[in-house]
């Protein structure tokens, strides 16, 4: 093909048809430019197709991850909803005891799981891979990227709450162990033994920590559902 065009140019020069030669040369240049542009466009289409395929794969992995997280969060919240009335009753009993409305020799039943901290664990392999490889740029929707970042921050916040309060929960557990007798699923404590500042201050601390952690779990659950909806769009 190159020899063919070269032959045409040589004939035009030999025939002293300079004007036609320059017109032909310009036309040839235009054809070359058009060919380059077409090749670049095809290359861009191929890259876009590959990016879309990779994005689809990441979306499927993330959807599976967040669906599993959603199931785990549902189980946790079901457990919390089950014990919530028990804590509400316990709060009421403690307040009445402080007011002197409870017989000091009566037995107060404190659930044994009062000092347990539930930690939500999520598999973040796909998220870590997206961050470490720079593939997060595949997502053109900033809302998805913002929500993924928010989700990771909430998980870190939950871990931070547990790390900061663990020693207080352990101390309260030791305090209970020293005061109470162990019954089936309950610590059995006399009302007069918990009418102390040390006990009540420790209890109010872990109660506030538990409620704060539940608020974070609520935010994690909400963000989880929002991410799944965005990924399915």
Distances (CA, A) of 68 to 71, 73, 221, 229: 5, 9, 12, 14
Instruction: Give the pLDDT of residue 28.
Output: 64
Domain count, the chain: 1
Q: Which helix (H) or strand (E) holds 111?
A: strand 107-111
Instruction: With a cut of 90, say whether residue 37 has pLDDT above it.
Output: no
How many residues does this entry show for the chain?
233
Query: Residue 77's pLDDT is what?
Result: 84
Question: Is residue 84, in this structure, part of any structural domain at all?
Answer: yes
Establish if 23 belongs to a structural domain. no
What is the band of 104 on the pLDDT scale with cuts at 50, 70, 90?
Answer: confident
Range of the domain at 186: 68-232
Query: Cα separation of 71 and 65, whole Å?
Result: 10
The phi-psi region of residue 134 (left if phi > 0; otherwise alpha if psi is between -120 and 50; otherwise beta) is left
* More confident: 11 or 227: 227
Helix (H, G, I), strand (E, B) or coil at 12: helix
pLDDT confidence of 119, banded at 50, 70, 90? confident
208 lies in some domain? yes
Report yes or no on 114 lying in a domain: yes
Model pLDDT, residue 1: 47
Give pLDDT tens digits for 158-191. 989 889 888 888 888 888 877 777 666 788 888 8
Q: Cα(1)–Cα(101) distance, rounded to whole angstroms?
A: 104
Distance (Å, whole) CA 210 – CA 29? 74
Q: Is residue 63 part of a domain?
A: no
Mean pLDDT is lowest, of 130-139, 159-168, 178-187, 201-210, for 178-187
Residue 19: inside a domain, yes or no? no
Q: Residue 41 — pLDDT band, cuts 50, 70, 90?
A: confident
pLDDT at 12: 47
Q: Find the Cα–Cα–Cα–Cα dihedral 120, 125, 131, 133, rounded to 10°.
A: 170
Tell me if 114 sits within 8 A of 83, measured CB to CB. Answer: no
Q: Is residue 21 part of a domain?
A: no
- pLDDT at residue 10, as a whole number: 55
Phi, psi of 180, deg, nearest 5: -105, 160
R_g of the chain, CA atoms, integer Å: 35
More confident residue, 19 or 217: 217
Beta carbons of 231 and 62 less than 8 angstroms apart: yes
Can you tell me the distance from the alpha carbon of 137 to that of 185, in angstroms, rounded to the nearest whole number? 51
Q: Flag whether 178 is in a domain.
A: yes
pLDDT attached to residue 229: 94
């Amino acid at each position: 093909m190159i020899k063919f065009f070269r032959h045409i140019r040589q004939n035009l020069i030999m025939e002293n048809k300079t004007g036609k030669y320059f017109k032909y040369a310009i036309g040839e240049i235009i054809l070359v430019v058009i060919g380059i542009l077409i090749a670049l466009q095809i290359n861009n289409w191929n890259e876009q197709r590959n990016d879309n395929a990779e994005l689809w794969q990441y979306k499927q992995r993330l959807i599976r991850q967040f669906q599993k997280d959603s199931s785990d969060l549902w189980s946790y919240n079901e457990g919390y909803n089950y014990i919530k009335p028990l804590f509400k009753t316990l709060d009421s009993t403690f307040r009445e005891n402080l007011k002197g409305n409870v017989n000091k020799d009566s037995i107060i039943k404190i659930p044994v799981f009062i000092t347990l901290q539930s930690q939500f664990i999520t598999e973040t392999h796909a998220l870590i891979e997206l961050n470490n490889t720079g593939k997060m740029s595949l997502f053109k929707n900033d809302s998805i990227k913002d929500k993924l970042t928010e989700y990771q921050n909430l998980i870190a916040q939950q871990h931070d709450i547990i790390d900061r309060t663990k020693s207080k929960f352990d101390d309260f557990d030791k305090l209970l162990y020293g005061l109470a007798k162990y019954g089936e699923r309950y610590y059995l404590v006399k009302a007069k033994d918990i009418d102390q500042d040390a006990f009540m201050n420790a209890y109010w601390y872990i109660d506030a920590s538990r409620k704060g952690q539940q608020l974070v779990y609520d935010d994690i659950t909400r963000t989880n559902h929002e991410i799944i909806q965005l990924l399915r769009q």
